[in-house]
Every structure is written in structure tokens, then in C-alpha cells.
Amino acid sequence: MQIYLYMSAPFQTKKSDYVRDMRLPKRRHRDRIGIPCRDRVKLIDALADALFTFEIHVRIYKGGSLLCKIVSELQGAIQGNTMVEPLFRTLALQGRLPATLQGVRAKTVSTHIKMMNTYLQALIQESNNLFPVLPQAYVRECYYQLLSDMKNAFKKYGPENDEPRTKYSNQAIYHAISEILSPLLQISELSLDSGCTIQGAISQRLSQRLPHS
């Protein structure tokens, strides 16, 4: 993740301890001078930690979603098993059992089906212990926390705001976050709102959640 961040647009600068102001016109990006950071290494580490934490939450969410599908298939298997014994008896009466089932008793089939259903029910009952099945809102809340953590990283380790020469405003931070996240996140796969990585959406969200920052 650190490598991706070092290669992202805000950190493409001539000097190793600078960060770019992505609000500047593209023609002024060519010099890539940027603004000095208090500690660019720690800034990138903090951003990477925030992204890694978000990735963990996404994996938990996807694990729950996948498990939900598996459970649904197991439940379908149980329902399908209820049709096996009647089908077996019908084919047996008609003398149409396949060779592999010739000589098998209906009672044996019934016993094995009940045993299989017992196993499937046990798996379903324990499934929630593996991954919780989480609502889609979970990912959105984790994404909003990611934005907050990234902003705090810039505030703590990014450029100073005391002097005009080194001023890196909230809007500069939002543009930088947008440049980092837009190529990285697969929005459709995460059930996030379309356009949530653009600067305007980030600014609106962080302003709502952090009115005093």
C-alpha cells in the first residue's frame, strides 16, 4: 500500500519530503515542487494504515455476504433433499433405477438423507460464528471513517497551516484524498455511492461529520 501511495499523484514531487496541491492547474503540476510536509514518511504510513484497516472491514463484509450465499445454497440443498426419497420410490416402482442404485433399499436412502440434512443444518447454525452477515451500510460507515482517518493523517503529518507559504487547507486535503482513492476503490463492488471519491463528495461528507475540523 505504501508503494501505491508513493506513486499516487499527490506524492509525485521532485523533493522527497513534499506533497502536491492538486487544486493547481495541470500546467503547474509539471514542476511538481509541492509543499513541504512535517513528516511525509509518517503521513504515508498513516494513510496506508487507514487504507489497510478499511480493507479488513471490506473483507469482513464480503466474507459475510459470501457466507450468506453459501447458507442460502445449503438451505436449497436441504429443500432439494426432500424430493430425493419420493423420486427414488417412484423410479423403483417403475423399474427405472440407475445401475448404481440397483439393490439399494428406500429405507437406506431415507437414512442417508436425514443424516445429510443433519450435517447441513449444523453448518447453517454455526455459520454466523465465521463471519457476521453485515448490512450494506456497514461499508459506507467504514468508508466515512477512512476519509476521516486520511484527513487526520494530513492534519498531523502534512504541511503546516501557520504560514501562507506552507498552507495546505482542508480543500487541498480533500483533493489529495480524491486523487488517492479514485483509482483505487471499486465503487460498484463495495455498494458505495457513485461519485463518493470525488472531491466535492469527500468535502461534503467530512464537513458533515467533522464540523469543527
pLDDT at position 66 is: 61
Give per-residue pLDDT as tens, 131-181: 566 677 888 889 999 999 999 999 999 998 665 555 788 899 999 999 999
Average pLDDT (46-74) is 79
Alpha helices (H) along the chain: 2-7, 40-81, 84-94, 106-126, 137-157, 170-181, 199-209
CA-only gyration radius of the chain, Å: 28
- Which one is predicted more confidently, 53 or 194? 53
Contacts (Cβ under 8 Å, ≥6 apart) of 156: 38, 42, 43, 46
Q: Is the pTM of the predicted complex or chain greater than 0.95? A: no
Q: What are phi and psi of 19, to 5 degrees?
A: -135, 145
Report how far Cα 8 is from the mean position of its chain's Cα atoms.
20
Sequence-distant (6+) residues with CB within 8 A of 3 are none
Q: Do 61 and 138 form a contact (C-beta atoms < 8 A)?
A: yes
Confidence at residue 156, expressed as pLDDT on a 0 to 100 scale: 94
Domain locations along the chain: 2-58+135-209, 65-129
